[in-house]
Amino acid sequence: MCVVGVLWFAAASLLCGIAPDEGVLIAARALQGAGGALLTPGSLALIHINVPLGVNGPLERGEVGAGPCRSRGPW
């Protein structure tokens, strides 16, 4: 799934680069978002496999990135 996400994101990035107008650019950015959504779980799984236990506490508890903080809101 990670490889599919990378290829999807790369293809959408190419489409962004050659977009002839704003409508195509916006659609390509939406495709980039979908590719990034496919890429994220695979990249986190690779990190989890390659980081030894006990080295990275937040990773072991699932506190990766700003996702948990942003889901609680700005307060």
Mean pLDDT of the chain: 79
pLDDT value at position 30?
95
Q: At residue 37, what is the residue type?
A: A
Is 52 inside any structural domain?
yes
Is 38 within 8 Å of 72 (Cβ atoms)?
no
At 13, phi and psi to the nearest 5?
Answer: -65, -40
Indicate the pLDDT class of residue 66, thresholds 50, 70 and 90. Answer: low
Query: What does the pLDDT look like over 26-43, one tens digit per residue?
Result: 999 999 999 988 888 877
Helices 22-50 and 2-17 cross at an angle (nearest 10°) of: 150
Is it the case that residue 55 has pLDDT exceeding 80?
A: no
Is 73 inside any structural domain?
no
Residue 54 domain boundaries: 2-68
Number of domains comprising the chain: 1
Is 75 inside any structural domain?
no
